[in-house]
C-alpha cells in the first residue's frame, strides 16, 4: 500500500479529532496504574506459578512463560487511540508498537490477534485502512494475524495481542545493567510533541511524515543487534518516556543511569513544537510520577526537561552495552544500517542523573 493513496484522509478527515488523547500518551498514568493494580499484588505470586518468569510483579515489557528449559512464550498486548490522521499509517504504527514489546524482551514474534474499538458510523473504508495497515506491518515482521475482537466505541482504538518465542538464556529484561555499561538508544526522542501538534492542527505535514517513518520502523534489527552482542538489559522507550523507562531500569538493576543531555538524539522536527510548549498530557504525568528519581545536574529550561518526559509511541530500544563491546557494537550497527546513539553511562548508585 502506497501512502500517496491515503493522502485524502489527512486532508478530508482528521482521525485524531475523534480521540481525547493520542497514541501511547493515552496510557493511564504510571501513578494511577500502580493504584489500580495494588489489590492484585500477590494473587499471581511467582511461588505458585514457577513457570511465570515475568509477570505483574515485574515492570518488564511483556509476560514470559517458561515452556521448557530452553524456550519461553512471550505474550504482550498494546492498543491506543489514533496518533495520526491517516488511517493506514495509524494501523501500521499501532501494530509496530505492539510487536515491539516482544523484540524488547529478546523474543521472535510469530502470531497476533487484533484488538479494536471502532465507531460504527465511521466510513467503512477508513476502518478497512486501519486493519490493512496493521496487517501489512505484522506481515513485514513475520507475524500472522489469526483473529481478534472488536467492540463499538465513539473513540477509535486499535492494536494487537502478540505472541512470540524467546531463548531463555538470551532473554532481555529491564534488569541486568552493570556499572561501566554504556547507554545506547536506537530511535530519536520527540514523537509525542509532533503528534500532539498534529492533534492541535499545528503540525507541518512533512514533520508528521518523518515521525511516522520512525514510528513504523520495526525494532527487529535493533533486537537482533542486542542478541549478537549478548546484551541483557534492554527496554523499549514508549509512553512513560526516556526518563521514566530509564528509571524503571535503574530500579530493576540496582544502578544509576547518567544521561548526557547533549547526546540525546532529539528529533529535529520536534524542536519547534517543544519550544511552543506543545506536549501531551502524559508528559506531565511522567514528570509527576518519576520526577523524584530524576536529578538534573545541569541547568535546563522547561521545554528541555519536558522533552525527556515526552511519551513516545513505537520508540526505540534503550540498551546497556558493556564498554568492552561498545566499539564493535557501534561498528556492527553501522554495518546493519541500524541507528544507535550513545546517550550516557551506568554507574553505581541509584536513580537517573541528567548531565
Catalytic positions are 24
| Residue 61 main-chain phi, psi, to 5 deg | -80, -20
Please state, as a whole number, how many other Cβ atoms lie within 10 Å of the Cβ of residue 123: 13
Per-residue cell: 253: 538493576
Distance CA 125, CA 50 (A): 47
Sign of CA dihedral 261, 263, 265, 266: positive
Find residue 166's DSSP bridge partners: 72
Among 64, 57, 46, smallest CA distance to 107 is for 64
Element (H, E) at 257: strand 256-259
Q: Spell out where the chain has E strands.
A: 52-54, 63-66, 71-80, 108-118, 144-152, 157-167, 182-185, 234-236, 256-259, 294-296, 317-321, 341-347, 352-354
Q: Which residue has the cell 538493576?
A: 253
Helices 87-104/124-140 angle, 10° precision: 30
The length of the chain is 355
Which residues are within 8 A (CB) of 324 and not within 5 positions of it... i.e. 6 or more apart?
none
- Residue-wise DSSP of 212-236: HHHHTS-SHHHHHHHHHTT--BEEE
Please state, as a whole number, how many other Cβ atoms lie within 10 Å of the Cβ of residue 145: 18
Distance CA 344, CA 336 (A): 22
Which residues are within 8 A (CB) of 47 and not within 5 positions of it... i.e. 6 or more apart?
none
Strands 144-152 and 108-118: parallel
Per-residue cell: 181: 555499561
Amino acid at each position: 500500500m502506497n501512502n500517496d493513496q491515503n493522502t485524502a484522509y489527512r486532508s478530508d478527515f482528521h482521525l485524531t479529532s475523534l480521540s481525547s488523547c493520542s497514541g501511547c500518551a493515552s496510557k493511564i498514568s504510571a501513578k494511577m496504574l500502580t493504584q489500580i493494580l495494588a489489590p492484585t499484588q500477590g494473587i499471581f505470586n511467582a511461588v505458585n506459578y514457577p513457570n511465570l518468569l515475568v509477570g505483574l510483579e515485574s515492570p518488564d515489557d511483556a509476560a514470559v512463560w517458561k515452556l521448557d528449559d530452553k524456550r519461553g512464550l512471550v505474550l504482550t498486548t498494546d492498543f491506543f487511540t489514533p496518533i495520526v490522521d491517516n488511517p493506514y499509517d495509524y494501523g501500521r504504527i499501532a501494530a509496530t508498537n505492539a510487536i515491539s514489546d516482544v523484540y524488547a524482551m529478546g523474543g521472535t514474534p510469530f502470531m497476533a490477534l487484533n484488538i479494536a474499538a471502532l465507531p460504527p458510523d465511521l466510513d467503512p473504508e477508513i476502518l478497512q485502512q486501519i486493519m490493512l495497515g496493521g496487517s501489512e506491518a505484522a506481515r513485514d515482521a513475520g507475524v500472522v494475524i489469526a483473529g481478534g475482537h472488536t467492540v463499538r466505541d465513539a473513540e477509535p482504538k486499535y492494536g494487537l495481542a502478540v505472541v512470540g518465542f524467546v531463548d531463555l538464556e538470551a532473554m532481555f529484561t529491564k534488569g541486568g545493567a552493570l556499572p561501566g555499561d554504556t547507554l545506547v538508544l536506537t530511535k530519536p526522542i520527540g514523537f509525542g510533541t509532533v503528534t500532539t501538534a498534529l492533534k492541535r492542527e499545528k503540525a507541518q505535514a512533512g514533520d508528521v511524515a518523518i515521525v511516522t517513518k520512525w514510528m513504523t520502523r520495526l525494532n527487529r534489527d535493533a533486537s537482533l543487534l542486542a542478541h549478537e552482542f549478548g546484551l541483557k538489559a534492554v527496554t523499549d522507550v514508549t509512553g512513560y518516556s526516556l526518563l521514566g523507562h530509564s528509571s524503571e531500569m535503574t530500579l530493576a538493576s540496582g544502578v544509576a543511569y547518567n544521561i548526557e543531555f547533549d547526546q540525546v538524539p532529539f528529533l529535529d522536527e520536534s524542536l519547534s513544537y517543544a519550544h511552543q510548549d506543545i506536549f501531551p498530557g502524559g508528559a506531565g504525568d511522567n514528570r509527576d510520577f518519576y520526577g523524584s528519581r530524576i536529578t538534573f545536574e545541569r541547568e535546563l529550561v522547561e521545554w528541555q526537561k519536558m522533552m525527556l518526559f515526552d511519551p513516545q509511541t513505537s520508540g526505540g530500544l534503550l540498551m546497556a552495552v558493556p564498554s568492552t563491546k561498545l566499539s564493535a557494537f557501534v561498528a556492527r550497527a553501522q554495518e546493519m544500517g541500524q541507528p544507535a546513539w550513545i546517550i550516557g553511562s551506568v554507574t553505581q548508585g541509584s536513580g537517573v542523573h541528567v548531565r
